[in-house]
Chain A
Amino acid sequence: MNIFRFTRRVLAWSIACTMPLAVHAAPMGFKDSWMSMGDFGPNWREVYANYAITSRDAFGVADTYMRSDDKQSTLDLTDVTYTHLLHRWNMRDAQANLWFVGGLGVARTHDDTNRMSDTRTMASPGIQFDYETTRVYLATMARMYRGREIDHDYGSVRAGFSFYETDYDETQPWFIVEARRMHELSDKTEITPMLRLVNKNYFIEAGVNNSRQARFNFMYIF
């Protein structure tokens, strides 16, 4: 690997680790690629990187910060992850995927009300299904975040459309709406309309949720 490529990788990784959100398109890149993702909002922040050892399997590391709506409880989870493409349907004008995403790691919890902190082992198995054409996107994800006395199960649905068709080298704008729930963190269903820009080199989303909080997501493959 030459110094330029190495520097570019370090730079991309640094950006991935310092930006504040949760992106859920394809959760891994192509064989032998690194993918970094970020999902940043006030109550949920996630940075994630994985390496695809095959076209269907990727191992990675993630750091996820969760905060309750009342800001009294926080959880910071660092885990190793495994992503597996269970099935892919390649159609002429569409692609659909069924994914397994799982993590095992350590969660540091803090409760301001009781002034208590703790460290626990946490597991986070989940399933994602997505369907996409060049104009329509649908995805749903269910993921358990479980540890001793912790249950922060997560569920999300995303749907959207692109404003127009573009060439492969052009940036395509999309409108996406996501609804998600996070058990024992919030009683509300968070709804976030977002503008997504997809280019062959990057994927970014930005929006404001129904609690008037900004969200930002990105993905980068290198």
Chain B
Amino acid sequence: MKKIITLSLFALSLAAGSAQAAVQTIKAEVNGMVCAFCAQGIEKKLRAMSQTKDVYVNLKHKIVAVELKEGQSMSQDTVKDLVKDAGYDVTHIETVNQTAQEIKASIRKD
């Protein structure tokens, strides 16, 4: 019985770990993004993408983060082109295993 419980807990922790790893967010640093009214284009375009689950924009830290739906993919170039079309320049881009809300919370802590 003990073995079954231990194995079940192990399996659950693995499942939780893989769910965490499945979170994919493309996080970009964007130059020129100083006004919410002007930057709304970035958010609107990203939210319109079928792969998008959530979007987070931070003007002070110049960050745009797009969290993807589970099992969906999006290239970093797609995000770069979309930000460029909205009139801004991407200076750094990476894919992270944090949700948009987790990125928001970590920036608020700083």
Contact = CB atoms under 8 A, between A and B. Distances in A.
A199 B37 contact: yes
B89 interface: yes
A30 B85 contact: yes
Report whether over half of chain B's contact residues are helix, strand or loop; otherwise say mixed: mixed
Give the bracket for the number of chain A residues in contact with chain B: 20 to 34
Interface residues of B, number: 27
A132 B35 contact: yes
B58 A167 contact: yes
Given A30-B87, A168-B57, A93 B34 contact: yes
A113 interface: no
A133 interface: yes
A106 to B, nearest CB: 32
B96 interface: no
A95 B62 CA distance: 12
Interface stretch (B1-9, B12-20, B40-48, B67-75): B40-48
Interface string A33-71: 100000000000000000000010000000000000000
A19 interface: no
Given A30-B87, A90-B32, A167-B58, 20 more contacts: A25-B35, A29-B41, A30-B42, A30-B44, A31-B41, A55-B85, A88-B87, A91-B31, A92-B31, A93-B34, A134-B34, A166-B36, A168-B57, A198-B36, A199-B37, A200-B37, A200-B39, A202-B37, A219-B37, A221-B37
Interface of B: 31-45, 57-60, 62, 84-89, 91
8 contacts: A29-B41, A90-B89, A92-B31, A92-B62, A134-B60, A168-B36, A198-B36, A200-B39
Interface of A: 25-26, 29-31, 33, 55, 85, 88-95, 132-134, 165-170, 172, 198-203, 219, 221
